[in-house]
Structure 1
Amino acid sequence: MRWGLLLIVLGLCGTTTGTVEAAETEPWNDPFWSLLHEPAAIAELQLNADQQQAFHALRDDLDLRFFPLRNQTKEVATAGTLKIIAEAREKLSDLLEPQQFQRYQELVLQRLGNDAFLHPLVVDRLKYNAAQQAKLEKISAETNEAAAALRQAVADQTKDRTAAQQEYTKLLERQQKKLLGVLTPIQQSALRKVVGQPFTGLKTSQPHFRAPDFSTAGEWLNSSPLSLKELRGKVVVVHFYAFGCINCIRNYPWYLEWSEKFKDQEVVIVGIHTPETNAEQNSASVRRKATEAKFRFPILIDAKKENWNAWGNSMWPCVYVIDKQGYLREQWAGELKWQGNDGEKYMRSKIEALLTE
């Protein structure tokens, strides 16, 4: 059988479409967790009405417990995330029928791509001998080392991002051929069965995370207190800022431009002012600076960092885009125009796309 055909049959061809920037080793990048947030993956399970209701309640609860972990120390975040994923695995197993849970496991393996060769489910099913296990581990380690070198070259700006991406794609293709070459024909057949029917929906699916609602404790400017629940049906743009932060100030023109552009559409911009310095604690100063900046959209003064911590935010500024159902769909950390990036155009396109949903 030709390699190209075999890769498609195995359902692992998506491994060659990843990005060179990502080193997805942290537990929050576990595909079991991330796929819970991709509508295409959940639709593939064909949940009945009762299952859908229970699933969304479960996922929303887990999300609201996950968000506060994002700005904790790596040790705390890792331990907390692993606990949440373990709970998700246990409760999803109870919620789904056996064939549904098996299909979900297949989607997890397909999302893992080349890493699936060393996943415990695959290792248990294929029964590698010691020599095979060592070869597979060596191939994966060499690929990871080469990928890390590419990422560093991009970070050091010694390699063009596009060229690095092309090299990374070829690197994964070579890795996959080497990994398959270690398997016997019987093991290759078993691998096809364990990863299941290829699912192309994984390539285009976009994650949905339940966004934390606004704290009721803060003072509001330009608006009565708001909640994401009452804003359902509208696209909500949330930006965390501090009035003394120069990086935040450089984003101001885009917030004003969005306010004008979308003023007659179902878009609400909400600023959350979380103080970085003692001077920014004064609500009168926040109000005065907002007036000077010509902010007419709602602003929540987050003096006690309750919203900052609920969202697990860790940077000034940070922009989030929430869809009409209250799910986080995109975020941009830092200046929108930092070092030649066009985050303004990118985030504006996301707002426009969500308006059409």
Structure 2
Amino acid sequence: EKLLRLADLERRAQGGRVLLREDVAEVVGLEPAQSEKLLAAARATESAAAALGKVFQSGGGPGDLEKAALLAARERELKLPGDLLSKEQQKEWRRLAGAPFDTVTLDRIYPMAPELAPSATWINSKPLSLADLRGKVVILHFYAFECVNCQRNLPIYAEWQRKYADKGVVVIGIQSPETDRERQPEAVITAAKEAGIDYPVQFDGDSATWKAWGNTMWPTVYVIDQQGYLRVWWQGELNWQGAKGDEVISKAVEKLLGGTADQAPPPATQRQPGPAAAPNLPAQR
């Protein structure tokens, strides 16, 4: 019974995109034309999100048009099942989703931070691992030294290093390359010195750490607690167009140092995989 309820919750969490699953489409009785329209709407949303991400990465402006396009695509995708499905199909879809569940009543579960991939080149430090930093709060950021958005975050990282280094916090930079020059260790070292970076930096020349973390954007900042769990992250510039990303990160760090943050569960020796957030979209041909 519990496994059946878990399956219900998984389908409910996946929202309208659960209809892209072959097993769900079969039970609901979707026609091929309906499935094609649902898939096209999902792809349009993903395409709009990717376009906005490129604007953020390039520093090419506020991206107002791209934001509006993404909001419109999301709205169309959310509205489509109600317009497309028959009453019987909608009834079956609701049945598969099960009864509503108030997730606010659940305790927060934090994911364990992935380990850093081995690297022969470290700046300002011997090679580090997150396992060796248990007991400390870690602020870890991915950057590429020629990325304008990354450069704008650097003074904030430096301030965190100055403010928290003596309080049990370690700031780590992961230089994952985007351009050919960023793949040259000497260029990375020179750029770090010119930027005044004095905290540990891993040269992630083959993007192994980037891939292990599933990172998708330069810059991205993560806060890892004393037990190695991911608590907070921020993608993009911390102060982009008046954003308060630096305050979000600082407050998370202060809570962890003060012992007022939600307590993460003790590390487990073995964890069972949880339900997927949403099914992957089929590859386009």
Please state which band the TM-score falls in when normalised by the shorter chain. Answer: 0.5 to 0.7
Point out the structure with the larger helix share.
1
Equivalent position of 2:228 in the other structure: 326
Cα distance in 1 between the residues matched to 2:77 and 2:106: 19
Give the whole-Å Cα distance in 2 for the aligned partners of 1:176 and 1:122.
Answer: 13
3-state SS in 1 of match to 2:221: strand
Alpha-carbon contact 1:318-1:333 (below 8 Å) kept = yes
List alignment gaps of at least 5 residues for structure 1: 1-98
Asked if 1 retains the 8 angstrom alpha-carbon contact of 2:143 and 2:174, the reply is yes
The equivalent residue for 1:157 is 64
Deviation at 1:254, TM superposition (A): 0.5
Report which stretch shifted further, 298-307 or 191-200. 298-307
Output one character per residue of 1:160-210: Cα deviation in whole Å (capped at 9) or x when no partner. Answer: 75x9859955x56754544565317xx82x555432232231899978544
Instruction: Output the amino acid matched with 2:137.
Output: V
The one of 14, 25, 29 aligned to 1:112: 14
Q: Identify the match of residue 87 of structure 2 among 176, 182, 189.
A: 182
1:102 and 2:7 correspond: no
Indicate conservation of the 8 Å contact 1:208/1:328, yes or no. yes
- How far apart, CA to CA, are the structure 2 residues paired with 1:247 and 1:173? 32
Answer yes or no: is the 8 Å Cα contact 2:16–2:81 preserved in 1.
yes
1:133 aligned partner: 31
Partners of 1:291 and 1:150 lie apart in 2 by 37
RMSD over aligned CA atoms reads: 4.7
Counterparts in 2 of 1:183-202, with a 5 A limit? 183=88, 188=91, 191-201=93-103
- Retained in 1: the 8 A contact 2:137–2:253? yes
Code of the aligned partner of 1:282: E
Percent of paired sites with the same residue: 34
TM-score calculated relative to the size of structure 2: 0.60
Does the Cα contact within 8 Å between 1:218 and 1:302 map onto a contact in 2? no
Taking a change above 3 Å as real, the CA distance of residues 332 and 137 of structure 1, as seen in their structure-2 partners, is: same
Contact kept in structure 2, 1:233 and 1:324, CA below 8 Å: yes
- Of 177, 200, 209, the residue aligned with 1:298 is 200
Deviates more, 1:288-297 or 1:144-153: 144-153
| Distance in 1, Cα, partners of 2:206 & 2:70 | 43
Query: Which residue of structure 1 aligns with residue 153 of structure 2?
Result: 251
Counterpart amino acid of residue 228 in structure 2: G
Indicate if the aligned counterparts of 2:136 and 2:170 stay in contact, CA closer than 8 A.
Answer: yes
Unaligned runs of 5+ in 2: 56-62, 263-285
Q: 1:112 to 1:274 in 2, by over 3 A?
A: closer
Q: Which residue of 2 aligns with 1:17?
A: none
